[in-house]
Structure 1
Protein backbone atom coordinates (compact mmCIF):
# COMPACT_ATOMS: atom_id res chain seq x y z
CA UNK A 1 0.00 0.00 0.00
CA UNK A 2 1.46 3.32 -1.03
CA UNK A 3 1.99 6.26 1.28
CA UNK A 4 -0.67 8.24 -0.63
CA UNK A 5 -3.24 5.53 0.11
CA UNK A 6 -2.26 5.39 3.77
CA UNK A 7 -2.53 9.19 4.00
CA UNK A 8 -5.94 9.08 2.32
CA UNK A 9 -7.15 6.44 4.79
CA UNK A 10 -5.97 8.61 7.67
CA UNK A 11 -7.84 11.60 6.23
CA UNK A 12 -10.96 9.47 5.80
CA UNK A 13 -10.81 8.24 9.40
CA UNK A 14 -10.31 11.76 10.71
CA UNK A 15 -13.15 13.06 8.52
CA UNK A 16 -15.53 10.33 9.66
CA UNK A 17 -14.85 10.90 13.36
CA UNK A 18 -14.88 14.70 13.04
CA UNK A 19 -18.19 14.82 11.19
CA UNK A 20 -19.84 12.24 13.44
CA UNK A 21 -18.77 14.09 16.60
CA UNK A 22 -19.66 17.50 15.14
CA UNK A 23 -23.09 16.27 14.11
CA UNK A 24 -23.71 14.81 17.54
CA UNK A 25 -22.71 18.07 19.24
CA UNK A 26 -24.74 20.14 16.77
CA UNK A 27 -27.87 18.03 17.28
CA UNK A 28 -27.58 18.21 21.07
CA UNK A 29 -27.16 21.98 20.91
CA UNK A 30 -30.28 22.17 18.72
CA UNK A 31 -32.07 19.94 21.22
CA UNK A 32 -30.96 22.05 24.18
CA UNK A 33 -31.90 25.30 22.44
CA UNK A 34 -35.31 23.91 21.55
CA UNK A 35 -35.86 22.75 25.13
CA UNK A 36 -34.44 25.62 27.13
CA UNK A 37 -34.00 28.57 24.80
CA UNK A 38 -37.50 29.05 23.48
CA UNK A 39 -38.12 32.06 25.75
CA UNK A 40 -34.94 33.87 24.74
CA UNK A 41 -35.57 36.71 22.26
CA UNK A 42 -33.03 35.72 19.61
CA UNK A 43 -33.43 31.96 19.96
CA UNK A 44 -37.19 31.82 20.41
CA UNK A 45 -37.76 33.20 16.91
CA UNK A 46 -35.53 30.60 15.22
CA UNK A 47 -37.25 27.56 13.73
CA UNK A 48 -35.31 24.94 15.67
CA UNK A 49 -36.05 21.45 14.49
CA UNK A 50 -34.04 18.31 13.97
CA UNK A 51 -32.48 18.03 10.50
CA UNK A 52 -34.22 15.72 8.04
CA UNK A 53 -33.32 12.07 8.04
CA UNK A 54 -30.27 11.64 5.80
CA UNK A 55 -30.33 7.87 5.36
CA UNK A 56 -33.17 7.77 2.77
CA UNK A 57 -31.67 10.75 0.97
CA UNK A 58 -28.30 9.05 0.63
CA UNK A 59 -29.68 5.57 -0.01
CA UNK A 60 -31.95 6.60 -2.88
CA UNK A 61 -29.70 9.27 -4.35
CA UNK A 62 -28.39 8.52 -7.84
CA UNK A 63 -25.77 11.26 -7.87
CA UNK A 64 -22.97 9.11 -6.43
CA UNK A 65 -23.46 6.11 -8.78
CA UNK A 66 -23.79 8.46 -11.75
CA UNK A 67 -20.61 10.28 -10.80
CA UNK A 68 -18.83 6.94 -10.32
CA UNK A 69 -19.93 5.69 -13.74
CA UNK A 70 -18.82 8.91 -15.44
CA UNK A 71 -15.51 8.80 -13.56
CA UNK A 72 -14.84 5.22 -14.73
CA UNK A 73 -15.57 6.25 -18.31
CA UNK A 74 -13.38 9.35 -17.97
CA UNK A 75 -10.57 7.24 -16.55
CA UNK A 76 -10.81 4.93 -19.54
CA UNK A 77 -10.71 7.83 -21.97
CA UNK A 78 -7.82 9.43 -20.11
CA UNK A 79 -5.84 6.19 -20.36
CA UNK A 80 -6.05 6.47 -24.13
CA UNK A 81 -4.51 9.95 -23.91
CA UNK A 82 -1.33 11.17 -22.32
CA UNK A 83 -2.17 14.27 -20.33
CA UNK A 84 -0.78 14.82 -16.86
CA UNK A 85 -3.37 17.53 -16.17
CA UNK A 86 -6.28 15.16 -16.86
CA UNK A 87 -4.63 12.49 -14.69
CA UNK A 88 -4.31 14.90 -11.78
CA UNK A 89 -7.84 16.25 -12.26
CA UNK A 90 -9.35 12.76 -12.08
CA UNK A 91 -7.18 11.76 -9.12
CA UNK A 92 -8.09 14.90 -7.18
CA UNK A 93 -11.77 14.40 -8.04
CA UNK A 94 -11.72 10.79 -6.85
CA UNK A 95 -10.04 11.74 -3.58
CA UNK A 96 -12.36 14.70 -3.02
CA UNK A 97 -15.51 12.65 -3.63
CA UNK A 98 -14.17 9.94 -1.32
CA UNK A 99 -13.72 12.52 1.45
CA UNK A 100 -17.17 14.05 0.80
CA UNK A 101 -18.86 10.63 0.96
CA UNK A 102 -17.00 9.92 4.20
CA UNK A 103 -18.14 13.27 5.61
CA UNK A 104 -21.75 12.42 4.71
CA UNK A 105 -21.39 9.02 6.34
CA UNK A 106 -19.94 10.75 9.42
CA UNK A 107 -22.99 13.00 9.53
CA UNK A 108 -25.30 10.01 9.20
CA UNK A 109 -23.36 8.16 11.90
CA UNK A 110 -23.59 11.10 14.28
CA UNK A 111 -27.30 11.48 13.49
CA UNK A 112 -27.90 7.76 14.12
CA UNK A 113 -26.04 7.93 17.43
CA UNK A 114 -28.11 10.96 18.41
CA UNK A 115 -31.34 9.15 17.56
CA UNK A 116 -30.13 6.09 19.47
CA UNK A 117 -29.30 8.13 22.57
CA UNK A 118 -32.38 10.36 22.57
CA UNK A 119 -35.09 8.11 21.16
CA UNK A 120 -33.67 4.61 21.43
CA UNK A 121 -33.93 4.18 17.64
CA UNK A 122 -32.20 1.17 16.19
CA UNK A 123 -29.19 1.72 13.96
CA UNK A 124 -29.71 0.21 10.50
CA UNK A 125 -26.85 0.39 8.02
CA UNK A 126 -28.36 -1.75 5.26
CA UNK A 127 -30.04 1.23 3.50
CA UNK A 128 -26.57 2.75 3.19
CA UNK A 129 -25.18 -0.15 1.12
CA UNK A 130 -25.14 1.91 -2.13
CA UNK A 131 -23.23 4.67 -0.34
CA UNK A 132 -20.66 2.19 0.98
CA UNK A 133 -20.30 0.75 -2.54
CA UNK A 134 -19.76 4.27 -3.94
CA UNK A 135 -17.20 4.95 -1.20
CA UNK A 136 -15.35 1.74 -2.04
CA UNK A 137 -15.48 2.57 -5.76
CA UNK A 138 -14.07 6.06 -5.33
CA UNK A 139 -11.47 4.75 -2.87
CA UNK A 140 -10.33 2.31 -5.54
CA UNK A 141 -10.38 5.04 -8.21
CA UNK A 142 -8.22 7.21 -5.99
CA UNK A 143 -5.70 4.50 -5.16
CA UNK A 144 -5.33 1.18 -7.00
CA UNK A 145 -7.31 2.16 -10.10
CA UNK A 146 -5.93 5.68 -10.36
CA UNK A 147 -4.47 6.77 -13.67
CA UNK A 148 -0.85 6.79 -12.45
CA UNK A 149 -1.30 3.19 -11.25
CA UNK A 150 -2.94 2.06 -14.47
CA UNK A 151 -0.35 3.77 -16.67
CA UNK A 152 2.27 1.42 -15.25
CA UNK A 153 0.59 -1.44 -17.15
CA UNK A 154 2.34 -0.35 -20.35
CA UNK A 155 0.43 -1.19 -23.53
CA UNK A 156 -2.05 -3.28 -21.54
CA UNK A 157 -3.48 0.05 -20.40
CA UNK A 158 -5.26 0.37 -23.77
CA UNK A 159 -7.19 -2.84 -23.14
CA UNK A 160 -8.04 -1.61 -19.62
CA UNK A 161 -9.07 1.75 -21.11
CA UNK A 162 -11.51 0.16 -23.54
CA UNK A 163 -12.86 -2.01 -20.70
CA UNK A 164 -13.40 1.03 -18.49
CA UNK A 165 -15.10 3.01 -21.27
CA UNK A 166 -17.51 0.09 -21.77
CA UNK A 167 -17.92 -0.52 -18.02
CA UNK A 168 -18.93 3.09 -17.25
CA UNK A 169 -22.36 2.91 -18.91
CA UNK A 170 -22.87 -0.60 -17.51
CA UNK A 171 -22.24 0.74 -14.00
CA UNK A 172 -24.78 3.48 -14.59
CA UNK A 173 -27.42 0.91 -15.45
CA UNK A 174 -26.35 -1.57 -12.73
CA UNK A 175 -26.04 0.90 -9.85
Structure 2
Protein backbone atom coordinates (compact mmCIF):
# COMPACT_ATOMS: atom_id res chain seq x y z
CA UNK A 1 0.00 0.00 0.00
CA UNK A 2 1.46 3.35 -1.02
CA UNK A 3 2.06 6.23 1.34
CA UNK A 4 -0.65 8.28 -0.43
CA UNK A 5 -3.22 5.55 0.15
CA UNK A 6 -2.19 5.19 3.79
CA UNK A 7 -2.45 8.96 4.28
CA UNK A 8 -5.88 9.00 2.63
CA UNK A 9 -7.08 6.20 4.93
CA UNK A 10 -5.84 8.14 7.96
CA UNK A 11 -7.64 11.27 6.79
CA UNK A 12 -10.83 9.27 6.20
CA UNK A 13 -10.69 7.72 9.67
CA UNK A 14 -10.09 11.06 11.35
CA UNK A 15 -12.86 12.69 9.28
CA UNK A 16 -15.32 9.98 10.28
CA UNK A 17 -14.48 10.33 13.97
CA UNK A 18 -14.42 14.14 13.97
CA UNK A 19 -17.77 14.45 12.20
CA UNK A 20 -19.41 11.73 14.30
CA UNK A 21 -18.15 13.33 17.51
CA UNK A 22 -19.03 16.84 16.37
CA UNK A 23 -22.52 15.71 15.46
CA UNK A 24 -23.02 14.19 18.90
CA UNK A 25 -21.81 17.38 20.59
CA UNK A 26 -23.94 19.56 18.32
CA UNK A 27 -27.09 17.53 18.96
CA UNK A 28 -26.53 17.50 22.74
CA UNK A 29 -26.00 21.27 22.72
CA UNK A 30 -29.24 21.64 20.77
CA UNK A 31 -30.97 19.37 23.28
CA UNK A 32 -29.62 21.37 26.22
CA UNK A 33 -30.58 24.66 24.60
CA UNK A 34 -34.05 23.37 23.82
CA UNK A 35 -34.55 22.21 27.41
CA UNK A 36 -32.96 25.07 29.30
CA UNK A 37 -33.08 28.00 26.92
CA UNK A 38 -36.39 27.57 25.17
CA UNK A 39 -37.28 31.23 25.60
CA UNK A 40 -34.14 32.31 23.73
CA UNK A 41 -34.90 33.38 20.17
CA UNK A 42 -34.84 30.55 17.62
CA UNK A 43 -33.61 27.93 20.12
CA UNK A 44 -36.98 26.35 20.72
CA UNK A 45 -37.43 25.75 17.00
CA UNK A 46 -34.25 23.74 16.45
CA UNK A 47 -35.43 20.40 15.08
CA UNK A 48 -33.77 17.27 16.41
CA UNK A 49 -35.66 14.99 14.03
CA UNK A 50 -34.71 16.40 10.61
CA UNK A 51 -31.01 15.42 10.22
CA UNK A 52 -31.41 11.63 9.69
CA UNK A 53 -33.26 12.21 6.42
CA UNK A 54 -30.57 14.53 5.06
CA UNK A 55 -27.89 11.93 4.24
CA UNK A 56 -30.09 9.52 2.23
CA UNK A 57 -31.61 12.54 0.49
CA UNK A 58 -28.19 13.87 -0.52
CA UNK A 59 -26.87 10.47 -1.56
CA UNK A 60 -30.07 9.41 -3.29
CA UNK A 61 -30.19 12.60 -5.34
CA UNK A 62 -27.65 11.21 -7.78
CA UNK A 63 -25.00 13.83 -7.06
CA UNK A 64 -22.26 11.29 -6.36
CA UNK A 65 -23.24 9.05 -9.28
CA UNK A 66 -23.12 12.03 -11.61
CA UNK A 67 -19.75 13.12 -10.25
CA UNK A 68 -18.40 9.58 -10.65
CA UNK A 69 -19.58 9.36 -14.26
CA UNK A 70 -18.09 12.74 -15.13
CA UNK A 71 -14.89 11.83 -13.30
CA UNK A 72 -14.51 8.61 -15.31
CA UNK A 73 -15.06 10.53 -18.57
CA UNK A 74 -12.59 13.23 -17.50
CA UNK A 75 -10.07 10.53 -16.57
CA UNK A 76 -10.42 9.07 -20.06
CA UNK A 77 -9.78 12.46 -21.63
CA UNK A 78 -6.79 12.99 -19.31
CA UNK A 79 -5.34 9.60 -20.32
CA UNK A 80 -5.54 10.54 -23.98
CA UNK A 81 -3.93 13.92 -23.28
CA UNK A 82 -0.76 14.52 -21.34
CA UNK A 83 -1.17 17.07 -18.57
CA UNK A 84 0.12 16.85 -15.03
CA UNK A 85 -2.26 19.65 -14.05
CA UNK A 86 -5.33 17.71 -15.20
CA UNK A 87 -4.00 14.57 -13.52
CA UNK A 88 -3.55 16.42 -10.20
CA UNK A 89 -6.96 18.10 -10.50
CA UNK A 90 -8.66 14.73 -10.97
CA UNK A 91 -6.85 13.01 -8.12
CA UNK A 92 -7.50 15.92 -5.75
CA UNK A 93 -11.17 15.95 -6.76
CA UNK A 94 -11.54 12.21 -6.18
CA UNK A 95 -9.88 12.46 -2.77
CA UNK A 96 -11.97 15.49 -1.81
CA UNK A 97 -15.24 13.77 -2.74
CA UNK A 98 -14.11 10.70 -0.78
CA UNK A 99 -13.51 12.87 2.29
CA UNK A 100 -16.88 14.64 1.86
CA UNK A 101 -18.70 11.30 1.65
CA UNK A 102 -16.87 10.14 4.78
CA UNK A 103 -17.92 13.36 6.53
CA UNK A 104 -21.55 12.63 5.61
CA UNK A 105 -21.19 9.11 6.95
CA UNK A 106 -19.64 10.48 10.15
CA UNK A 107 -22.56 12.86 10.54
CA UNK A 108 -25.04 10.03 9.99
CA UNK A 109 -23.16 7.77 12.41
CA UNK A 110 -23.04 10.43 15.10
CA UNK A 111 -26.72 11.10 14.67
CA UNK A 112 -27.55 7.39 14.85
CA UNK A 113 -25.55 7.09 18.07
CA UNK A 114 -27.41 10.10 19.46
CA UNK A 115 -30.78 8.56 18.58
CA UNK A 116 -29.69 5.24 20.07
CA UNK A 117 -28.58 6.85 23.32
CA UNK A 118 -31.57 9.16 23.75
CA UNK A 119 -34.49 7.50 22.04
CA UNK A 120 -33.34 3.87 21.86
CA UNK A 121 -34.15 3.73 18.15
CA UNK A 122 -32.91 0.82 16.08
CA UNK A 123 -29.85 1.38 13.94
CA UNK A 124 -30.72 1.23 10.26
CA UNK A 125 -27.77 1.31 7.88
CA UNK A 126 -29.78 0.57 4.71
CA UNK A 127 -30.24 4.25 3.76
CA UNK A 128 -26.45 4.66 3.94
CA UNK A 129 -25.69 1.89 1.44
CA UNK A 130 -25.53 4.26 -1.59
CA UNK A 131 -23.12 6.48 0.36
CA UNK A 132 -20.93 3.49 1.19
CA UNK A 133 -20.90 2.42 -2.47
CA UNK A 134 -20.02 5.97 -3.53
CA UNK A 135 -17.26 6.02 -0.90
CA UNK A 136 -15.73 2.82 -2.26
CA UNK A 137 -16.06 4.08 -5.83
CA UNK A 138 -14.33 7.38 -5.20
CA UNK A 139 -11.69 5.71 -3.04
CA UNK A 140 -10.85 3.43 -5.97
CA UNK A 141 -10.86 6.41 -8.37
CA UNK A 142 -8.44 8.23 -6.09
CA UNK A 143 -6.05 5.29 -5.63
CA UNK A 144 -5.96 2.25 -7.93
CA UNK A 145 -7.81 3.79 -10.89
CA UNK A 146 -6.35 7.28 -10.65
CA UNK A 147 -4.96 8.74 -13.85
CA UNK A 148 -1.33 8.61 -12.63
CA UNK A 149 -1.78 4.92 -11.75
CA UNK A 150 -3.25 4.17 -15.19
CA UNK A 151 -0.47 6.07 -17.01
CA UNK A 152 1.93 3.31 -15.96
CA UNK A 153 0.38 1.06 -18.61
CA UNK A 154 2.29 2.93 -21.32
CA UNK A 155 0.55 3.14 -24.68
CA UNK A 156 -2.30 0.98 -23.41
CA UNK A 157 -3.42 4.13 -21.62
CA UNK A 158 -4.92 5.38 -24.90
CA UNK A 159 -7.16 2.31 -25.09
CA UNK A 160 -8.03 2.72 -21.38
CA UNK A 161 -8.73 6.42 -22.00
CA UNK A 162 -11.12 5.71 -24.87
CA UNK A 163 -12.82 3.00 -22.81
CA UNK A 164 -13.26 5.44 -19.90
CA UNK A 165 -14.70 8.09 -22.24
CA UNK A 166 -17.33 5.56 -23.36
CA UNK A 167 -17.85 4.13 -19.87
CA UNK A 168 -18.60 7.52 -18.25
CA UNK A 169 -21.98 8.07 -19.95
CA UNK A 170 -22.86 4.42 -19.42
CA UNK A 171 -22.22 4.81 -15.68
CA UNK A 172 -24.52 7.80 -15.63
CA UNK A 173 -27.30 5.64 -17.02
CA UNK A 174 -26.54 2.62 -14.79
CA UNK A 175 -26.07 4.52 -11.55
| Separation in 2, partners of 1:59, 1:152 | 33
Give 1:49's match in structure 2, choosing from 47, 50, 61. 47
1:163 maps to 2:159? no
Deviations along 1:63-98, one digit per CA (max 9) or x if unpaired, are 010001100010011000001110011011011111
Moved more, 151-160 or 52-61: 52-61
| Separation in 2, partners of 1:151, 1:31 | 52
Deviations along 1:30-80, one digit per CA (max 9) or x if unpaired, are 0111011114xxx34433222432243134221010001100010011000
Uncovered stretches (5+) of structure 2, i.e. residues with no partner: none
Q: Secondary structure at the match of 1:19?
A: helix
Match of 1:90 in 2: 90
Alignment check: 8 A CA contact 1:101 1:131 kept? yes
Change in 2 beyond 3 A, CA 1:88/1:32:
same
Scaled by the length of structure 2, the TM-score of the pair is 0.93
| Separation in 2, partners of 1:114, 1:8 | 27
Moved more, 140-149 or 50-59: 50-59
RMSD: 1.2
Q: What are the within-5 Å matches in structure 2 for residues 70-89 of structure 1?
A: 70-89=70-89
Alignment check: 8 A CA contact 2:24 2:111 kept? yes
Alignment check: 8 A CA contact 1:58 1:128 kept? no
